[in-house]
């Protein structure tokens, strides 16, 4: 009798979930919206990319949330051909009341856009460093954080200053399998 009741309960719970069709979860991501679309549309000529372009190289930040390690800060450099660029004085900070929260990555790093994506656009990646997920959450508690950096593309010697607004996105996700 007891096992029959258990079986009935399990079946009812399963049927309920089936009727609902899915199980969901909430996720928090951080993204730079204007450059986020490059991965899917492979178009480097959009007008909104101009502020993030230096000598034909488009800089796209990527904040990759990893648990329990923290959040990796990456830069992907996109170009129509092979280019070499150097990045330095990368800084992630809060905005508004959180602007005192700052994380700096002073080390200079160089990358060449020598990989090719499916549409023939070339790119290269730089792992700038790691920031604690709690620290980033505090920086972006008002909805956004700011990433700034200096970049030069060879053979230029002058660095150009770039600034990116990193937006916090809270989304409902399907449970995946």
Partner 1 sequence: MGPDVQTDLWGGQRAAPALSPFALPQAQTASPSLWSPAAVSGQLVAPPADPAPAAEVHAQVKNPGPLSSLWEGAKGLGSKAYRGLTAWNFEGRDAHNGQAPTQAEVDQDHSWRQLGHKESIYHDNNRGAPERKYVKDDPGSFLGLGGKEAVIDGDTGKPMAAGPYQATYNYCNPAAGGIADHSPRGIARNLGHVAVDVIPYWFGGTVRGDEGTNFAQRVLGPETYNKAGEKWSGAKNWAGSKLSSVGKGISTGLHGLGGWAGAKTHQAEPQHDQAEPQHEH
Q: Which stretch binds partner 1 (CB under 8 A): 22-30, 45-53, 92-100, 159-167?
A: 22-30
Segment 115 to 174, residues that bind partner 1, using CB under 8 A: 117-118, 125, 127, 171-174
Segment 68 to 87, residues that bind partner 1, using CB under 8 A: 69, 72, 74, 76
- Of 3, 19, 23, 81, the one binding partner 1 (CB under 8 A) is 23
Q: Does 67 bind partner 1 (CB under 8 A)?
A: yes
Q: Which stretch binds partner 1 (CB under 8 A): 21-29, 51-59, 95-103, 140-148?
A: 21-29
Q: Residue 141 and residue 81: Cα distance in Å, rounded?
A: 38
Nearest residue to 166 (alpha-carbon basis) of 55, 73, 67, 68 = 73
For residue 19, how many C-alpha atoms fall within 13 Å in the half-sphere facing its CB? 6
**Tokens representing 173?**
């996700």
Contact 88, 108 (CB under 8 A): yes
User: How near is the Cβ of 40 to partner 1 at its closest, in Å?
Assistant: 9
How many residues of this chain interact with partner 1, rule: CB under 8 A?
A: 37
Backbone angles phi and psi of 141, in degrees to 5: -65, -20
Q: Residue 19 and residue 24: Cα distance in Å, rounded?
A: 14
Q: Does 104 bind partner 1 (CB under 8 A)?
A: no
Backbone angles phi and psi of 160, in degrees to 5: -110, 140
Contact positions vs partner 1 (CB under 8 A): 2, 5-6, 9-11, 13-14, 17-18, 21-27, 62, 64-67, 69, 72, 74, 76, 117-118, 125, 127, 171-177
């Amino acid at each position: 009798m007891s096992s029959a009741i258990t079986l009935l309960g399990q079946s009812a719970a399963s049927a309920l979930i089936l009727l609902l069709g899915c199980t969901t979860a909430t996720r928090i991501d951080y993204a730079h919206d204007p450059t986020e679309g490059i991965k899917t549309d492979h178009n480097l000529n959009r007008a909104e990319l101009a502020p993030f372009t230096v000598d034909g190289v488009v800089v796209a930040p990527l904040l990759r949330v990893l648990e329990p390690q923290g959040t990796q800060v990456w830069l992907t450099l996109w170009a129509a051909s092979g280019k070499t660029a150097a990045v330095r004085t990368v800084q992630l900070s809060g905005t508004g009341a959180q602007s005192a929260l700052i994380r700096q990555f002073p080390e200079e790093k160089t990358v060449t856009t020598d990989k090719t994506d499916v549409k023939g656009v070339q790119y290269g990646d730089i792992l700038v460093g790691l920031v604690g997920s709690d620290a980033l959450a505090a920086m972006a508690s008002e909805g956004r954080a700011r990433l700034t950096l200096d970049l030069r593309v060879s053979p230029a010697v002058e660095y150009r200053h770039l600034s990116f607004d990193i937006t916090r996105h809270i989304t409902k996700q399907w449970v995946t399998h």
